[in-house]
Structure 1
């Protein structure tokens, strides 16, 4: 309607003024309800054509959409393991900080595993003490074996020396017995040395390895025990948290609730524009938004990202063929951020908004190689954005009335 009134000022009004003051035709006399088409046909046709051209140019170069919202990410509250809820620490709706325990699962099995691992460590430590005693015992046995060997070796050496100096003074049989005894004592030394090495190996390598394995088992059991405590991963707010003790939760089938991160929906606005405007939408374009949850307010924004893919065109490989005729027309997703810091303060996350984006050709117009006619045309394109800005403000002004009064709620 606003475009029609504007175009009538340049087409229908001049035609009427010509008929009135040049041809002398008056309303209600020569110009009646039955003759208005014949008398003002040039102005009416020109007004309709100019209105259609103006509306097309406005909506193409200055895209508008009502499919805009402050989408926000939610974090599902799910445990890593299934189990029965033993304790709930938050209510239906409550702010939480990162690391806060939201609820706890029954942990009797995990506690038993932790205690078993601790007992195993204690057992290994006891074995380590016993092994150190075995090392001391082996050292004593080695000293005794060395003493016995030295004694028998000295006796053998003495009798062998006497036999060498005075053959026949010592029976050969005694020397042979002493040699066998020395060899046995040497074997005893070797056995004691091996026993000592075995005991030292137990103390230095085997038992420490067993202790490390037991400590790793304890750490694993402790990790499994910690999984029974479900904590908040980020700062935020728990909403509609209806979990109660005795409920069964499963990470695959039944989440426990939803956590909304702090500041969710307060940084960017997502808007879906028509596909025909894909060549017009560019990062850096100035835009304005009017949101339902913040009436009578225009928020200046800027387009930061234009998604290169339309969501309706995606598919997953499977056993069915794709039918392109079944796909619904999708939209070009653009992400907008407020120009001023805190521009979205007061807008409820998830709120629906109306968004206008405005094409600016200032740099092209200011370029030296831009012709006069092209510059005038680009000036006209930029100027008609004012009409769209007026429409947005009218929509923002009428939005509460339309919602509260005319909708019937």
Structure 2
């Protein structure tokens, strides 16, 4: 309507003034309800053409959207294991800090596993004490066996010397028995030494390995026990938390609630039409009017333009994709941030706004090689942005009236 009134002031109005004061045609005589459409045909046609061109230029070079939202992320409150709730520590809309407990699952089984792992470590420590005692016992057996070996060797030497001296007091059979005794005692010494080496290997390698395995089992059991206590991963507000003692929680099927990270709105995500793909650029100045902050126009700047359209995304499946199945349409996602720090303070997360983005040809107009007609067209494009700015202000002015009075919300 604003564009029509503006265009009619330079087309229909001059045509009427010409008919009225130059040709002398008067209302009720030459100009009637039935003849006015013919008499002012040039002004009406030019008004329609100019209005259509103006609307096209305004909405193309200065795009607008109603899908500007202060998007925010949420964190799903989920345990890492199935279980029955034993205790809850928070309520709905309660603020929590990172690491604060939210709820605890029944942990009888996990505590039993931790206790069993601790007992296993104590058992390994006891095995080490026993092995060290056995090592001392083995040292005594080695000393005893070496003493008996020395005695047997001495006995063997004496009998061998007597046999070599042709003494009738000793026989060859007795020397052989002495030799067998020496070999037997040597075997006992070797067995005792081998037993000591086995105990040393057990003390140095087997028992430490068993203790390390038991400590790893304890750590694993402690990890499983820690999983039963669900804590906040970040600062935020707990939402949709309705767990009570006795409820069963499943990380795949039944989440416990949602944690909204504590943060303030720093920008908006806006979806502009695909036809503005060549117009939307980082650095464009924009404005937004939000329902949560009525009668306020917030200056913004475009900081990023997503170079893909979400409607065209596909994911690998075992079925070939037919393009008829792709959802048509889709918008260009644009990130807008406030031009001045603190301009979005007080705006709730998830608030919906109306956004305008304005093209600026100031840098191009500094090019001295531009022709007069080209320069005039760029000036005109920049100037018609004022119309869109006025439209946004009218929308901001009427938004509370439309919402509270006309829609009754």
- For Structure 1 versus Structure 2, the TM-score category normalised by the shorter chain is over 0.9
Distance 2:157 2:181 in 1: 12
1:99-248 to 2 correspondences below 5 Å: 99-161=99-161, 164=164, 166-168=165-167, 171=170, 172-248=172-248
State whether residues 284 and 302 of structure 2, in contact with CA within 8 Å, keep that contact through their aligned partners in structure 1.
yes
What is the distance in 2 between the residues matched to 1:240 and 1:187? 78
CA distance in 2, matches of 1:212, 1:360: 69
Distance 1:150 1:334 in 2: 96
When structure 1 is superposed on structure 2, of 176-185 and 226-235 the one drifting more is 176-185
Distance 1:170 1:26, change over 3 A: farther
TM-score (norm 1): 0.94
Relative to structure 1, the CA distance from residue 297 to residue 136 in structure 2 (aligned partners, 3 Å threshold; closer, same or farther) is same
How far apart in 1 are the matches of 2:83 and 2:123? 31
Structure 1: distance between partners of 2:338 and 2:116: 58
Q: 1:2-13 to 2 correspondence within 5 Å?
A: 2-13=2-13
Partner of 2:295: 296
CA contact (8 A) 1:287 1:300 kept: yes
| TM superposition score normalised by structure 2 | 0.94
* Equivalent residue runs for 1:255-266 within 5 Å: 255-263=255-263, 266=265
Q: In the TM superposition, what whole-angstrom CA distance separates every residue of 1:369-393 from its partner, at most 9, and x where no partner exists?
A: 3332212111111111111011101
Contact 2:312/2:326, CA 8 A, preserved across alignment? no
- Checking the alignment, whether the CA contact within 8 Å between 1:242 and 1:257 is kept in structure 2 is yes
The alpha-carbon deviation at position 163 of structure 1 amounts to 5.1
User: 1:125: how far off?
Assistant: 0.9
1:136 Cα offset (Å): 0.7
Aligned to 1:80: 80
Aligned residues: 407
Q: Between 35-44 and 225-234, report the one with greater CA deviation.
A: 35-44
Which SS does the other structure have where 1:384 is aligned?
A: helix
In 2, Cα distance between equivalents of 1:180 and 1:226: 66
SS of aligned partner of 2:270: strand
Corresponding residue for 1:267?
A: 266
The answer to whether the 8 Å contact 2:311/2:326 transfers is: no
Is the 1:75–1:260 contact (alpha carbons within 8 Å) kept by the matching residues of 2?
yes
How far did residue 261 of structure 1 move?
Answer: 1.0
Q: Secondary structure at the match of 1:324?
A: helix
Q: Which residue of 1 aligns with 2:334?
A: 334
Is the contact made by 1:86 and 1:104 (CA closer than 8 Å) also made in structure 2?
Answer: yes
Secondary structure at 2:146's aligned position in 1?
helix
**In 2: Cα distance, 1:292 partner to 1:39 partner:** 46
Q: Which moved more, 1:268-277 or 1:349-358?
A: 268-277
- Mapped contact 2:82–2:249 kept (Cα < 8 A): yes
Decide which moves more: 276-285 or 392-401.
Answer: 276-285
Counterpart for residue 378 of structure 1 = 378
Gaps of 5+ in 2: none
- CA distance in 2 between counterparts of 1:27 and 1:56 reads 34
Matched residue, 1:400 = 400
Q: Distance in 2 between matches of 1:318 and 1:158?
A: 93
Q: RMSD in angstroms over aligned alpha carbons?
A: 1.9
1:158: how far off?
Answer: 4.2
Deviation at 1:321, TM superposition (A): 5.2
Structure 1 residue runs without a partner (length 5+): none
Partner of 1:281: 280
Q: Distance in 1 between the 2:383 and 2:306 partners? A: 27
Say which SS state the counterpart of residue 260 (structure 1) adopts.
strand
Residues 159 and 170, structure 1, Cα contact 8 Å, conserved in 2: no
Higher mean C-alpha displacement, 220-229 vs 66-75: 66-75
CA apart distance, 1:160:
3.7
Say whether the 8 Å CA contact 1:77–1:259 is kept in structure 2: yes
For residues 325 and 48 of structure 1, the distance between their equivalents in structure 2, rounded to whole angstroms, comes to: 39
- The separation in 1 between residues aligned to 2:347 and 2:390, in whole angstroms, is 22
